[in-house]
Amino acid sequence: MNMNDITSEPLTEARMVWKRQGNKVVRAVRCVGGRRHGRVVKTASQCSAPVDMKKRLTLKKTKAKMGKRMSRKANRTKRLNPASKRLKTLNRR
């Protein structure tokens, strides 16, 4: 039995977007539902994958220590990197 047999609504767990990988632009998936709602991941199956708590706590500590520095560096990259500029136009709806 398929999910299409149970419900008539279209099933959308993720939608295709572009992401930056180094200085390249590659296809990715933005999660529409699940634990990673709104996050850009490589495959749609990662949207409902369990969260790695060790990684989550490590990032929490890093953000507490270097949050402002991380955001400034990210903003600088988005402003100056040619791949990021291309990405902004590709993901525009």
Could you tell me which residues are beta bridge partners of residue 40? 30
Q: Containing domain of residue 66, as a range? A: 3-90
Angle formed at CA 41 by CA 54 and CA 87, multiple of 5 degrees: 130
pLDDT at 82 over 90: yes
- Taking the complete model, does pTM exceed 0.75, yes or no? no
Q: Which pLDDT does position 5 carry in this prediction? A: 58
Q: What's the residue count for the chain?
A: 93
- How many structural domains is the chain composed of? 1
**Termini Cα distance of the chain:** 35
Amino acid (1-letter code) at residue 33: G
Average the pLDDT over each of 8-12, 34-38, 88-92 and give the range with the smallest value. Answer: 8-12
Q: Which two tokens stand for residue 46?
A: 């990662």
**pLDDT per position as a tens digit, 32-74:** 988 899 999 999 999 999 999 999 999 999 999 999 999 999 9
